[in-house]
Structure 1
Amino acid sequence: LGGSGGYSRIMYEGVGSTDAPYILYMDDDIAIEPDSILRAVQAARYAKSPILVGGQMLNLQNRAQLRTTGEAVDRATFMWGAAPHAVYDHDFAAYPLGYLGTPEEQANPRKITSRALHRRVDVDYNGWW
């Protein structure tokens, strides 16, 4: 079915035809580490109430590049865009996850560090394209 038709079918089947505790939505052309699936299931198991766990999009041709941590939808125009505090095009080769910056960089919010990657970002969806 592809696209929204495939996802609609997943929702239809998931609500009416299964007793599975979790449903994993993925495009058919992505590469995913099996450990990512295990971590998502583990997070769901420890949740006090049902949650959605979204993945962050990495660049398949440059695996050190994080494309985005998630998007938000403007409900007035129904257009997508950056979610508050979302990170785009982060280069892990230059700024590894543990790099929080020098004291001078920490004092300057315009300097690139990995500090923003350590916070939870509330998004409307995680797009994979």
Structure 2
Amino acid sequence: MRKLIAIFIFFIIHIQSIYAETCPSISDIKKGKLHTWQLHDSESHQLLSAKHLEQFKKYAQQFTLAEWHKNNNQQNSLRCYYRDWNGSEARAYLAKNNFRPHLAKNSWYSVSGSMHCAAGLKNCTFQHTKPSPQLARNGK
């Protein structure tokens, strides 16, 4: 029975690691393989244009940090930050909603109400979550 439980636990952990995602690699960025990732301004957090995306593709040379936090809409936003070869941080980040950190590797740490991971692209993994249902207010 214990062997069966151990096999089951191993299977669950293995399945989780298969479905874990990471921030886009530099190669993916350069090739434009961003799928549903969106580019946002680091200061205003506004969505940036295709022109800015082309500049970002040229600029990004190294993964820096993954950041996760629940935003006001409870969308579990995940952000990926990059820098150039001189170490200068990008003025933009890639973002996706409805994800949560994969904490099994202990690569994520808490900073001012959000979770950060700077352990390298392959170690900063996360998983898709279902969107939170939005309840309508009836004015009462």
| Larger fraction in strand | 2
Interval containing the TM-score (normalised by the shorter chain): under 0.3
Given the two structures, how large is their TM-score scaled by the length of structure 2? 0.21
Q: Structure 1 length normalisation: TM-score?
A: 0.22
- Bigger relative contact order (CA 8 A; separation at least 6): 2
